[in-house]
């Protein structure tokens, strides 16, 4: 006769499959080997359990077994990498660069990306204008990739690559024909490599809506 120890509760992740913030969080969790209870959210029908711990109502949200709640995607990424970071995505040497690139992406590029995606909601300018604003960041990324052998900060992926990639993916999908002929060869190679990776495939698996 043997006694088994009670299983430890898993962190609970509230996520939405296509949200770039949620994608970046899932990438870090899968990479780090952290197992979570995945709760897929429909944004028009947000579960009360999520709103109870995170009233702002955005995803991703990670509830840790000790009760702590992480409401920002980059906080979830950093927490995951603290659990295990086998390839050094976040180190003392690259942390400042990682933080700076993510800040530019999230605070400067993302607002223009939203206007480019939903140009009909912003009739002050044509879609091409918003795309030209996005291109300032695309051109910068092209330069980083050229200077660093195909990744943003070094010859290997860092947290910056994984945090920014979902937003570039979103930008490329607005007008695929334009993106394919755009003058950013290194960006297109980088994006294709990440899109075709087994890591990305694993985080894009479909989950039914969670109704708890």
Residue 22, token pair as written in the block? 């949620």
Do 172 and 148 reside in the same domain of the chain?
yes
Do 164 and 106 reside in the same domain of the chain?
yes
Q: What is the C-alpha to C-alpha distance for residues 97 and 103, in angstroms, rounded to an integer? A: 10
Please state the domain count of the chain. Answer: 2
Residues in the chain: 212
Mean pLDDT of 57-78: 98
* Of the candidates 85, 55, 66, the residue with the CA atom closest to the CA atom of residue 9: 66
Do 65 and 99 reside in the same domain of the chain?
no
52 within some domain: yes
Do 69 and 160 reside in the same domain of the chain?
no
The predicted-structure confidence for 121-151, as pLDDT tens digits, reads as follows: 999 999 999 999 999 999 999 999 999 999 9
The predicted-structure confidence for 71-99, as pLDDT tens digits, reads as follows: 999 999 999 999 999 999 999 999 999 99
Task: Give residue 3's pLDDT.
Answer: 53
pLDDT > 80? residue 7: no
- Contact criterion met (CB below 8 Å) for 62 and 12: yes
DSSP at 106: I
The predicted-structure confidence for 100-124, as pLDDT tens digits, reads as follows: 999 999 999 999 999 999 999 999 9
pLDDT > 80? residue 2: no
- The domain in which residue 50 lies consists of 12-87+199-203
The predicted-structure confidence for 10-30, as pLDDT tens digits, reads as follows: 999 999 999 999 999 999 999
Strands 69-70 and 61-63: antiparallel
* Of the candidates 58, 19, 15, 20, the residue with the CA atom closest to the CA atom of residue 165: 20
């Amino acid at each position: 006769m043997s006694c088994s120890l009670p299983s430890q509760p898993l962190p609970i992740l509230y996520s939405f499959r296509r949200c770039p913030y949620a994608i970046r969080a899932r990438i870090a969790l899968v990479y780090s080997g952290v197992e979570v209870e995945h709760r897929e959210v429909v944004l028009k029908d947000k579960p009360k359990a999520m709103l109870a711990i995170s009233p702002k109502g955005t995803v991703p949200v990670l509830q840790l077994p000790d009760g702590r709640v992480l409401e920002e995607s980059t906080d979830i990424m950093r927490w995951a990498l603290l659990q295990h970071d086998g390839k050094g995505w976040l180190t003392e040497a690259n942390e400042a660069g990682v933080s700076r690139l993510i800040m530019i992406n999230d605070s400067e590029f993302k607002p223009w990306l939203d206007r480019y995606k939903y140009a009909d909601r912003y009739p002050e300018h044509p879609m091409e204008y918003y795309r030209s604003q996005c291109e300032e960041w695309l051109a910068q990324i092209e330069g980083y990739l050229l200077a660093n052998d195909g990744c943003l900060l070094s010859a290997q992926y860092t947290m910056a690559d994984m945090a920014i990639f979902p937003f570039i993916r979103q930008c490329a999908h607005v007008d695929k024909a334009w993106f394919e002929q755009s003058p950013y060869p290194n960006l297109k190679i980088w994006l294709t490599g990440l899109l075709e990776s087994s890591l990305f495939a694993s985080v894009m698996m479909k989950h039914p809506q969670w109704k708890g």
